[in-house]
Structure 1
Amino acid sequence: MSKKKHSEHHEEHVDESWLIPYADLLTLLLALFIILFASSQTDSKKYNSIMRSLNQAFQGGVGAFESSNLIPITTEPNMEAKKYDQPTSAQAQETEAEQQIQKEQKDLEQLKKKLDEYINENSLSAQLDTKLTEDLLMITIRDNALFSSGSANVKPEAKLLAVAISDMLAQYPNYRIEVAGHTDNVPIGTAAFETNWDLSSKRALNFMKILLENAQVGPERFRSIGYGEYHPIDTNDTAEGRAKNRRVEVSILRSIKPPQIKDVPK
């Protein structure tokens, strides 16, 4: 009878031998997660320290972990958020381009206003015209305001106009300037000029040379070109149209083309 009671009393104790491998499994899992976390960091010293701690744990029990021998891995708060808050290189370039467009637009509007005031004050509206587009600010000068018929020599009185334009251009030193000559389609065929190409090119060059007499404008900003009769702005079938086609254009060129900008009215 007593043996039976002793046997029943012994069966009441639960077998806890499974706790040992379970604890080992938890330790291994913890070690795995620590290794994975540490391997994602760029600090090799911290990684090596953790590896030494793990080696101690596997060789001599879990004493290394019980004594909190782990090396804390610190990360600056909100590092990921800050990374996305910083503008990318493309965004920075786009912002810089927008600022440059705004500056150029303001500069060219100011220059156009000064030119228009000069034209009005000197009653030159029949001979000069200004136009601001998405590419440039253009000053159009009728040929009779600058040259005698068939000649490329700038009239003495026209030099005052060239000086005034040059003084204004000197105030905006960051823009390239193109001086272009144009003619009508009537053949010239003189001893001085074989074709309208020659006449238009020489007129553009001579007017540009007067602009460059101003020491405040850099010659590296300038170029001259002759278009001859091949870029008319009016018909060549009438005397009035041919008169409009004979012209010199001084263009102040934008460095960045703004998107869908409308022409500024005169």
Structure 2
Amino acid sequence: MAKHKHEEHENHERWLVSYADFITLLFAFFVVMYSVSSVNEGKYRTVSDSIKAALNPISTPPASSMAFTLGQQRPTLMTQNLPGNKEVAIRKMRELVKNMKANSQFDFMHLQEKLNGDIVITIPDQVLFNSGEAAVRPEALPFLQGLSQAMIELNRQVRVEGHTDNVPIHTALFPSNWELSATRAVIVVRVLSELYSVPAEHLAALGYADSRPLTENLTLEQRAKNRRVEVVILEHAPVRPEQQDNAVADDATGSSETPQISAAPAPPSTR
């Protein structure tokens, strides 16, 4: 009797192997895409947070991106222990102002030494910024770099003041001239500190809007003079609030003590 041959069982589920390989490759593809997108998002958030910090409390994205990234690769301060040679540092700043003045053709850009020892550098706004913006122009960076080196040599307190004319501004970034002047001063301070290593504890930023004009705001030339940034290098460090509090406390302590009263000698008796 002939033996029946067993028919080979055909595997109808072999497609699952190819399907599983396809799903694995697809999963790997999406993992790679997600990782790449995460890196780009991180870089974007870094730049975004840096700009938002400068424009705080304004949360609207800036109209123009900055030509450099602040706070990422701060250079090492190489001249920490330089002697404060005032004459050499002032000569360097005068040369910087003279060269920048010749290139920008602004006659009212100047350096002034006051009687109290303060040094005031008046910089027209067009030297540092485009109209209505607070991003430092790339052409101004060499000037600020040279200025920062002289500041480090002087080792003094520096106050950066932003000023505008009386023409109102009302944009998403700058609702008024107060925001514009203050933001410009902050950006200059951050450039000096984060790009060129001027000690942050030596710097302060103030925005005055149009409250302290140099001249009237009747003509284009007069308004151009009032739109400026003034870098004030102080001869004497300002008194900090805690020092004032200590001085007041010392005065109060001294006044609360019982005064020593000496009695006058009695006149001699005539009897």
How far 1:126 moved relative to its partner?
Answer: 3.6
How far 1:155 moved relative to its partner?
Answer: 0.7
- Pick the aligned partner of 2:111 from 122, 130, 139: 130
> 1:91 is matched with which residue?
none
Structure 2 residue runs of 5 or longer lacking an equivalent are 1-83, 239-271
> 1:37 is matched with which residue?
none
SS in 1 for 2:162: strand
> 2:192 is matched with which residue?
211
The 5 A counterparts of 1:166-205 are 166-173=148-155, 175-205=156-186
- Amino acid corresponding to residue 156 of structure 1 in structure 2: P
The 5 A counterparts of 1:113-262 are 113-122=91-100, 123-124=102-103, 126-127=105-106, 128-135=109-116, 136-173=118-155, 175-214=156-195, 216-255=197-236
CA offsets 1:151-185 (integer angstroms, 9 cap, x no match): 11111111121111111111111x10000000000
How far 1:213 moved relative to its partner?
Answer: 2.5
CA offsets 1:179-230 (integer angstroms, 9 cap, x no match): 0000000000111111101000000000111111356421101100000000
Shift in CA distance, 189/256, structure 1 to aligned 2, threshold 3 Å: closer
Alignment RMSD (CA, Å)? 2.3
How far 1:120 moved relative to its partner?
Answer: 3.0
Distance 2:105 2:119 in 1: 18
**Identity across the alignment (%):** 38
SS in 2 for 1:223: strand
> 2:36 is matched with which residue?
none
> 1:19 is matched with which residue?
none
Distance 1:191 1:248 in 2: 22
Shift in CA distance, 192/125, structure 1 to aligned 2, threshold 3 Å: closer
Distance 2:142 2:120 in 1: 19
Distance 2:151 2:216 in 1: 31
CA offsets 1:127-172 (integer angstroms, 9 cap, x no match): 4310000231011110001111111111111112111111111111
How far 1:239 moved relative to its partner?
Answer: 0.4
Distance 2:187 2:181 in 1: 10
Distance 2:178 2:130 in 1: 17
Distance 1:124 1:142 in 2: 13
How far 1:110 moved relative to its partner?
Answer: 3.9
Distance 2:133 2:190 in 1: 16
TM-score, normalised by the number of residues in structure 1: 0.53
Distance 2:152 2:206 in 1: 21
CA offsets 1:79-132 (integer angstroms, 9 cap, x no match): xxxxxxxxxxxxxxxxxxxxxxxxx9x72x543322122233452474431000
Contact 2:96–2:147 (8 Å) recurs in 1: no
- Amino acid corresponding to residue 110 of structure 2 in structure 1: D
> Would you say how many aligned residue pairs link Structure 1 and Structure 2?
152
SS in 2 for 1:181: strand
Shift in CA distance, 204/256, structure 1 to aligned 2, threshold 3 Å: closer
Contact 1:236–1:242 (8 Å) recurs in 2: yes
Distance 1:215 1:150 in 2: 25
TM-score, normalised by the number of residues in structure 2: 0.52
Distance 1:120 1:185 in 2: 28
Distance 2:95 2:89 in 1: 10
SS in 2 for 1:171: helix
